[in-house]
Structure 1
Amino acid sequence: MNMASIRDDELPNATGIPSAARRTDISPPPALEVTEELLHALPKTDLHCHLDGSMRLKTILELAEQQKVKLLADTEDGLAQAIHMGQVCKSLDEYLVAFDVTLSVLQTAEALYRSAYELAVDAAAENVRYLEVRYSPALHLQKGLKMTTVIDSVLEGLRAAKRETGIKYGVIVCGIRHINPQTSMRLAELSVAYKNRGVIGFDLAGAEASFPAKDHKDAFQLILKNNVNCTAHAGEAFGPESISQAIHYLGAHRIGHGTRLREDGDLLNYVNDHRIPLEVCPTSNVQTGAVTSLAAHPLKFYFDYGLRVTINTDNRLITDTTVTKELWVAHKELGLSLEDLTTILVSGFKSAFLPFREKQDLLRSVNQEIATTLAAFETRPKMVRQPA
C-alpha cells in the first residue's frame, strides 16, 4: 500500500483499525531511545517560520555596522539580552522589541538576500527538508525598496541555499492585521503575481485583539479566486472566534498556532473533520504568554484527539529554537512518543503548500528516510555507563 497517497482515515493503527490520529505506517522499535541526536537526524519541515524573527545575531550586528544603524547592544550576548532571546516576555510590547531590531537592518536587498540564505542554510543543517518562510514585504520599505525587490531578494537568497544544500522552500507573504486592509490587498495582488515563481501562500499576521480577520476578507477572496494557498495566525492571543473568522471569512487552509481552539469543542471538531492543519509553535507560545507553560500546551491533546498538527519554530532567533528543539520539548515536557513524533513529522510534509504530485513524491522519500534513520539508530552500539 502506498502510505503517502492515501487519506488519513484510511491509515491503519497497530490493531488494524483505521485511525485519524495515526498517519504513518512507521513503527519505531519499542526500545529505541528518543534523543536530540535522533530527532536532529530525522527529516523535518518548518511550515511556520518568520524571516524577521529568524536571523543570526552575528548577521544583525554586521548589517547594523554596514548600514550605520544604532542597535540596543553591540555584542552578541548583549543583543540577545536586549531582544529577550529565549526568555518568557512580560508583555507583547516586550516581545515585539526584537522585531524592531531585526527590521531596522532588513531594509536593503543585500540584507534580505543574506538573511533568507542563512535561514535556509541553518534549517538544512538540522535536516529540515522543506521550509516555508513568511514575512510581509510592507515592513521592508523604510529605505525606498519596491515590494517586488523585497520578494526577489528573498527568493534569490533561498535559491542560493537550495543550490548549496538541496533544501526545498516556499515563501508565504503576510498581510498584517493592524495595517489597513488596502495594504493586505496590495500584498495579495503581489502574491498572485508571484504564484509559481516562489510564493506558495498568503498569511494574516499581527495582533489579533481589536483587529479581526474579517476586515481583510477581500484580500483573501482575491487569493482564493486565484487558487493560491492561504493560512492565518489565529487563536494565539485571542479566543476561538479568531480561528472561526480565519476559516469562515478568509478560507484559511491552515491555522497558525490555534492554541485556544480547545475552548470551542464544536469548532475543534470542524477543524478535525475538515483536516485543517495546525501550525503549532510550542516554545514560542510560552514566550508570548499564549500558554502558561509547556506542560499546559494543548499540542498533545490535539494530537491524541486526531487533529493534524505540525511542529514549527515561529521565530528561530527570538525564541532561540530549532525544529529539533521543539520536537525534543514535545517529547520531554508533553510526553509525545517517538511514534507520535514521526507521525507529526509526516503530517508536516502532508500539510505543505506543495502540488499534490510533488508532495506525493516527497512523502515517499521521507517515509523511507525516516525508516532508514530509525533502523540505523537501532543498530548502533549502546553506550554503557560506567559506575561513578
Structure 2
Amino acid sequence: MATEVTRELLHRLPKAELHVHLDGSLRPETMLELAAEYGKKMPAHDAETLRDYMHVQDARNLVEYLERFSITLSVMQTADALERIAYELAEDLARENVRYAEIRYSPILNAQEGLPLTETVDAPLRGLARAEKDFGIKTAIIICGIRNMEPATSRDLADLTVAYKDRGVVAFDLAGAEYNYPAKKHKDAFYTVINKNMAATIHAGEAYGAESIHQALHYCRANRIGHGTRLYEDPDLMRFMNDFRVPIEICLTSNVQTRAVESFDKHPVRMYYDEGLVLSLNTDNRLMSATTVTEEYWRAHQHLGFTWDELVDLALMSFDSAFMHRTEKLALLDAVRREIESLTSATA
C-alpha cells in the first residue's frame, strides 16, 4: 500500500538543502534586534509585519525579487551579525530535519562597511561550526560571484573560495541578475576554482533561457545548475545534462515568485523527474519566499503529484548531489537510507 504523504512525515524525512542564501534567510526578530543595535532602519517595527513585508508577493521578475536584499544586507556588515545569522539558519534547518546544508552568499556584499573579506567568511564558519556541535547538522559554504559586477570582482571572490578550500567552503557560484549578464564573462573566475579541483554551481535558466544554462556548463564548467527552470527549451541540452548526470537545484516557490513559471502546477520539475534528471528541492530564500525545505516537498506533492517514494528519491538525490568528499557522502547516505527505511516501516 502506498505511503500517505503528510506534512509531518515530510518534516521527519531527513533532507539536504543545496541552494539557500544566507542573506535571504534571516529571522525577522533578529533583523529588528540587529537594526536597533547598529542604528539601521527597518520597514516595520514588529516581527510579524516585517516578515510579511519581506515575503515577496508582488515581483514581476527576478530583479524586483532581489530588491529586498538591501534590507537584510544592511544588518549583515559585522562579524558578530554574520556569525549569529549563520548559526540561526543552521538551527532553523536542523529543526526540520535537514541533515546537510550548503549555504551560499557573496562576501563582497558583507564588506560594504569595511569588514575584511576574510572575516566575512570566518564569521559564518564560526556560527556554522557551533551549530553543528549544538544540533548535529553538517554544513558548508558556497561563495557567490555577482553577474552584474565586474569580472575582476568575481576573480577576487574565486581566489577567496580557493583560500578556504577544505576549511568549510566547498564551491563557487554566480548569482544575481541573469538577463543581459552572461556567465561567460566570468569564466576566468571559474577557471581559478576548477583549476584548484573545487566545485562550481551557477544560477542559470531562471530569468533567461536555456542558453544561460549552456554557458554555465560549457564556458564555466558548472558541476550543478541552480534553478535550471528553462532547460526544457533546449531538449538536446537537457539530454546532455541527463547523460552526464548534472544535478539541478530546483526552487519551486521562488520560481513562481519571480515569474520563471506561471504556477506550481506548471513547473517543469515533474517533467524533469520523469525524464530521469538528477534533482534536488531547495528553498532559495526562506525569508523572501516564506518557505521551508519541508514546504517545498509538500508543494511538489500537492501540485505536481510526487508520491512518497518519489519524494524519498528526490531526498536521496539531494544528498548524492552534495559537494562533499565521496567517502563522507557515502557514510551520510548510508545513515539517511537506514533512517528512511525505519520511517517508512513505521508508517506502513
Q: What interval of TM-score do these two structures reach, taking the shorter chain for normalisation?
A: over 0.9
2:167 counterpart (197, 200, 222): 197
Q: What residue number does 2:34 align with?
A: 63
Q: What residue number does 1:54 align with?
A: 25
Q: Deviations over 1:56-98 (max 9, x none)?
A: 0100111001000011111123223332x15252344432232
Using the TM superposition, give the Cα deviation of residue 375 of structure 1 relative to its aligned residue in structure 2, in angstroms.
Answer: 1.1
Q: What residue number does 1:39 align with?
A: 10
Matches within 5 A, 1:198-277: 198-277=168-247
Structure 1 residue 77 corresponds to structure 2 residue 48: yes
Aligned partners of 2:304, 2:26: CA distance in 1, in Å?
A: 28
Q: Does structure 1 conserve the Cα–Cα contact (< 8 Å) formed by 2:256 and 2:263?
A: yes
The normalised TM-score by structure 2 is: 0.98
The CA RMSD measured in Å over matched residues stands at: 1.0
Aligned partners of 1:367, 1:328: CA distance in 2, in Å?
A: 20
Matches within 5 A, 1:116-195: 116-195=86-165
Using the TM superposition, give the Cα deviation of residue 324 of structure 1 relative to its aligned residue in structure 2, in angstroms.
Answer: 0.4
Q: What residue number does 1:315 align with?
A: 285
- SS of residue in 2 equivalent to 1:152: helix
2:271 counterpart (295, 301, 305): 301
Q: Does structure 1 conserve the Cα–Cα contact (< 8 Å) formed by 2:270 and 2:304?
A: yes
Aligned partners of 1:351, 1:31: CA distance in 2, in Å?
A: 27
Aligned partners of 1:86, 1:219: CA distance in 2, in Å?
A: 31
Using the TM superposition, give the Cα deviation of residue 355 of structure 1 relative to its aligned residue in structure 2, in angstroms.
Answer: 0.5
Identity %: 53
Using the TM superposition, give the Cα deviation of residue 171 of structure 1 relative to its aligned residue in structure 2, in angstroms.
Answer: 0.3
Q: Whose Rg is larger?
A: 1
Aligned partners of 2:64, 2:240: CA distance in 1, in Å?
A: 35
- SS of residue in 1 equivalent to 2:249: strand
Aligned partners of 2:28, 2:159: CA distance in 1, in Å?
A: 33
Q: Does structure 2 conserve the Cα–Cα contact (< 8 Å) formed by 1:203 and 1:233?
A: yes
The normalised TM-score by structure 1 is: 0.88
Using the TM superposition, give the Cα deviation of residue 209 of structure 1 relative to its aligned residue in structure 2, in angstroms.
Answer: 0.8
Q: Deviations over 1:290-326 (max 9, x none)?
A: 1110011001100000000100010011101111000
Aligned partners of 1:260, 1:131: CA distance in 2, in Å?
A: 25
Q: Does structure 2 conserve the Cα–Cα contact (< 8 Å) formed by 1:257 and 1:281?
A: yes
Structure 1 residue 367 corresponds to structure 2 residue 331: no
Q: Structure 1 stretches of 5 or more lacking a match?
A: 1-29, 379-388
Q: Deviations over 1:90-145 (max 9, x none)?
A: 34443223201100100010110000000000000000000000000000112100
Aligned partners of 2:343, 2:319: CA distance in 1, in Å?
A: 17
Q: Deviations over 1:186-237 (max 9, x none)?
A: 0100111100000011100011111100000000001110000110000001
- SS of residue in 1 equivalent to 2:68: helix
Q: Structure 2 stretches of 5 or more lacking a match?
A: none
